[in-house]
Structure 1
Amino acid sequence: MTVEGMECVEIFNSEGKGRGLKSTKEFWAGDVIFAETAYAAVVFDNLTHNVCHTCFKRQEKLHRCGQCKFAHYCDRTCQKDAWLNHKNECSAVKKLGKAPNENIRLAARIMWRIERESSGLAEGCLVSIDDLQNHIDNFQDEEKNGLMDDVQNFLDYWLSQGQQFGMNYISHIFGVISCNGFTLSDQRGLQAVGVGIFPNLCLVNHDCWPNCTVIFNNGNHEAVKSMYHTQMRIELRSLGKINKGDELSVSYIDFLNLTEDRQQQLKRQYYFDCTCEQCTKKTTDALLLAVKEGDPKPADSVVKEVTQFSMDTMEKIDKARSEGLYHEVVKYCRDCLKRQEPVLADTNIHKLRILSISSEVLSYLQMFEEAAENAKKMVDGYLKIYHPHNAQLGMAVMRAGVTHWHAGIIEVGHGMICKAFAILLITHGPSHPIAKDLEAMRAQTEMELRMFQQNEFVYYKMREAALSNRPIQVMQEPKNEAQGMIFHKKS
């Protein structure tokens, strides 16, 4: 495990939040405050054959461990670097005859490491695994039953001939994973692929309007490439000016929710009551519930009816998406937007959700003009709600820009790609693969925009010919899964 920048932060007792981290120096937007590799990490159960078990990059073809037949790697370099963490796991999988679930695999990797190092405190860490919160006392009956099932299955898997751990300690480790397991993404940050424990990151408290963001950078940072190029690395990056002594914060959940819904989600998943300024003042609730301005304004009964229709439609959309019926999704979205248009404002959360799904699915079906129209409305709404340096905002603007490019709306598309690049330079940094992709897109659309301004007819002819060779990548098949949580909560 490697840690950088911890001299720039210190632990303190945050009022009403327990321990937290505060800065010991001044930071500016885009600065990396600290970075660390995982104490332990595993690939999700459903992606064990598609993602490298060392660097967590998605690859077309992976090499399989010849012993356990379970672990997969990019190449021999990743396989060699994995052996220290995989050695015990390999024997355990062979003996059990199968690999257990991701929680059990992660717990075992944590305890094998504690056993090797005779301590849960790694070099460069401000806190040990032993001292991380587990919140077991707050678990509901269903969660406690799940915990006990994991503990029992873990005992069947555990092969250690050395230190033996008591039931309370094993339960503590599973509680730590439940509350502090961090969702890992692939090399471009587009898909969740695993879960890991990052002890220093666990000390950073939540704020719905945070001053930091967390980004995965799979060994792309030059300073760690030579020695740690296969390790999953997270970076805590500043979103704006941070003064010496300021508490550092990140958002555990997506901000695009009503205050009450955010608070319920935080209480249910992380066991605390959020009292940040955004929650106390309910800053964006008026925007997220806004109705169309006009004279007269829509009647309350009409607003209530359209809101209920929107929620009912979302249930139908979720079912259709899960079954891959994307043309039905488009029909539901069109009907809902037609009902919403004269009643709900473009910042209304119910309208934004439909616009987001509609633009994504329409792009997948290559109905780009309609997708671009909806993406533009969605982005305009997002810009009024999200923090200007929010990573999810940047990704949404990037997708909207690509959609406009596919639709041949080059002026708006180029502007959006430039806007997304400016945001992601701060949230991801210039070395991140997605920032490099955006930089290439920006250069390409800038060149195309000049051609368009010189001669529209020639531009469209050349564009039509070029599309058959190497277009900008279209989005992947739409996924019906929640986005925006950085800490992994296994359901």
Structure 2
Amino acid sequence: MQVPLQRVPEFAVKDPTRCCMVEIHLTHLICHTCFKRQEKLHRCGQCKFAHYCDRTCQRGAWLNHKNECSAIKRHGKAPNENIRLAARIMWRIEREGGGLTEGSLVSIDDLQNHVENFGEEEKKELRADVESFIEFWPPQSQQFGMQYISHIFGVINCNGFTLSDQRGLQAVGVGVFPNLCLVNHHCWPNCTVIFNNGNHEAVRSMFHTQMRIELRALGKISPGEELTVSYIDFLNVSEDRRKQLKKQYYFDCTCEHCQKKIKDDLMLAVKEGEHKPSQDMVKEVIQFSKDTLEKINKARSEGVYHEVVKLCRECLKKQEPVLGDTNIYLLRILSIVSEVLSYLQMFEEAADHAKRMVDGYTKIYHPNNAQLGMAMMRAGVTHWHAGLIEAGHGMICKAYAILLVTHGPTHPITKDLEVMRVQTEMELRMFQQNEFMYYKMREAALQNQKIQVMPEPSAEASQDLFVKKQ
């Protein structure tokens, strides 16, 4: 099958990070230099906290880690990632000053902190962070005033970018990228932001300088047109998106999609036909869906995946006579159950739910949305595992076309997807030539080699572009 490539001009702006940080619960699983997940990492012999792929990564991190290393030893333990990130930012300011650095359009001092917009709970958390920071900050380092420290925490709070691992499937850290903080939000944007650690060796060799993040065009952009990104996932009705943006980023979204409530009808769709459900029935099913999602999240966090499947099946039984195929509550359940069933190697049932999920996503998301591409990839792999080679190859090709735009050809996900595309294309030709022999060879291959399964389902919801301390 020919990949349906879209003619989108290559446009990628790379921004040097001010600083970035691995999340504290993943410090022993993720390299603190290249953010690659490794089974065996080398621990810093001094602080016993930072972990690296090898000495190359450790040497590349030393400029940013040496102050942190001695501070952790003095403090006795590592604080949370927000405090460590603030400390790294201020150690860099100590070295280079707080003004514009090479390649930067804006300084850390000039970024919005929105501290004046904080509610009482946020102010309480800010005071706690500042106190913890002062305890952690070494007395021999440059001393900063309370107001400036609060400014740095405010910047992290509303300008910190989520960083993912090399496969882009899990949020593993947070970074501050000053130039990209200038890009405004739009619910239907013309750009996307991707953390691309690309070729591992290339990334490691440049880490003595700076980590980078990419702003990529999703389509043709006219001269003078503002570049925009979406700070949050689009898969929410306009009212909920506006509430989230106001609460998290302190502004009222006035984009066309919010003002005209574009696609809200699809996201709240109900079954059409002679026996259209009543409003009371719709409200009852939506509330049941919300309650079930809370139970599912608890079961996922505890790793009780068979309970997750049971809850999803019960919820789908309630939803299917009432909710339309693009209803977001139905799609959320389909996404969870397809992922968990695939992990449990119940591929045929997983494939059915995954197909319904991507059909719904396709009608809602921008055609070059990264979330759509990732969902399409997951659905394609699930169909492949289920032996549905034609559908699987088609989905993998569509995912590849999307991710070429959103992630670029050098991203590890895109490279992995290209390998899958070639593999499934070869298998599809074999299937078309002799279906019986294809299944016999597939069966023999699976007996000799354990089938590759999806990674363990994450208890986290889909990650937004910016990270927000909860």
TM-score of the superposed pair, with normalisation by structure 1: 0.91
When residues 176 and 442 of structure 1 are mapped into structure 2, their CA distance, relative to the original with a 3 A threshold, is same
Where does residue 326 of structure 2 map in the other structure?
A: 347
Where does residue 262 of structure 1 map in the other structure?
A: 241
Where does residue 264 of structure 2 map in the other structure?
A: 285
**Higher mean displacement: 335-344 or 402-411:** 335-344
Percent identity over the alignment is 76
Quick one: which of 74, 89, 104 aligns to 1:125?
104
Quick one: which of 252, 270, 274 aligns to 1:295?
274
Quick one: which of 23, 35, 39 aligns to 1:56?
35
Secondary structure of 2:313's partner? helix
Where does residue 469 of structure 2 map in the other structure?
A: 490
When residues 125 and 342 of structure 1 are mapped into structure 2, their CA distance, relative to the original with a 3 A threshold, is same
Where does residue 340 of structure 2 map in the other structure?
A: 361
Distance 2:330 2:210 in 1: 40
CA shift at 1:274, angstroms? 0.6
CA shift at 1:222, angstroms? 9.7
Where does residue 233 of structure 1 map in the other structure?
A: 212
- Post-superposition, which runs of at least 4 consecutive aligned residues in structure 1 deviate over 3 A? 221-232, 468-473
Quick one: which of 27, 38, 57 aligns to 1:78?
57
Distance 1:229 1:462 in 2: 49
Contact 2:47 2:73 in 1 (8 A): yes
Contact 2:198 2:411 in 1 (8 A): no
CA shift at 1:304, angstroms? 2.2
CA shift at 1:474, angstroms? 1.8
Where does residue 411 of structure 1 map in the other structure?
A: 390
Contact 1:221 1:431 in 2 (8 A): no
Distance 2:125 2:94 in 1: 25
Alignment of 1:1-400 (within 5 A): 29=8, 31-159=10-138, 161-220=140-199, 227-228=206-207, 231-400=210-379
Matched, 1:420 2:399: yes
Distance 1:132 1:35 in 2: 18
C-alpha deviations, 1:187-221, integer Å up to 9, x for none?
Answer: 11111111111000111111110000011111439
Tell me the amino acid that sits aligned with residue 348 of structure 1: N
Contact 1:363 1:403 in 2 (8 A): yes
Tell me the amino acid that sits aligned with residue 314 of structure 1: L
Please list every run of 5 or more consecutive structure 2 residues that lacks an aligned counterpart in the other structure: 1-6
Distance 2:208 2:435 in 1: 46
Where does residue 4 of structure 2 map in the other structure?
A: none
CA shift at 1:228, angstroms? 4.4
CA shift at 1:223, angstroms? 8.4
CA shift at 1:472, angstroms? 6.5
Distance 1:443 1:432 in 2: 17
Distance 1:358 1:195 in 2: 29
CA shift at 1:231, angstroms? 5.0
Distance 2:43 2:329 in 1: 45
Distance 1:36 1:469 in 2: 46
CA shift at 1:440, angstroms? 0.6
**Higher mean displacement: 387-396 or 336-345:** 336-345
Tell me the amino acid that sits aligned with residue 102 of structure 1: E
Please list every run of 5 or more consecutive structure 1 residues that lacks an aligned counterpart in the other structure: 1-27
Distance 1:441 1:321 in 2: 28
Secondary structure of 2:276's partner? coil
CA shift at 1:341, angstroms? 1.5
Contact 1:219 1:230 in 2 (8 A): no
Secondary structure of 1:350's partner? helix
Secondary structure of 1:184's partner? strand
Tell me the amino acid that sits aligned with residue 456 of structure 1: E
**Higher mean displacement: 199-208 or 308-317:** 308-317
Quick one: which of 444, 447, 450 aligns to 1:465?
444
Where does residue 3 of structure 2 map in the other structure?
A: none
Secondary structure of 1:41's partner? strand
Secondary structure of 2:257's partner? helix
Distance 1:52 1:30 in 2: 33
Matched, 1:402 2:387: no
Contact 1:219 1:225 in 2 (8 A): no
When residues 251 and 76 of structure 1 are mapped into structure 2, their CA distance, relative to the original with a 3 A threshold, is same
Contact 2:190 2:227 in 1 (8 A): yes
When residues 399 and 456 of structure 1 are mapped into structure 2, their CA distance, relative to the original with a 3 A threshold, is same
* Count of matched residue pairs: 464
When residues 162 and 321 of structure 1 are mapped into structure 2, their CA distance, relative to the original with a 3 A threshold, is closer
When residues 253 and 81 of structure 1 are mapped into structure 2, their CA distance, relative to the original with a 3 A threshold, is same
C-alpha deviations, 1:430-450, integer Å up to 9, x for none?
Answer: 111101111110111111111
Aligned alpha-carbon RMSD (Å) = 1.8
Distance 1:246 1:223 in 2: 33
Matched, 1:443 2:422: yes
CA shift at 1:299, angstroms? 2.3
Distance 1:429 1:150 in 2: 37
CA shift at 1:470, angstroms? 5.1
TM-score of the superposed pair, with normalisation by structure 2: 0.95
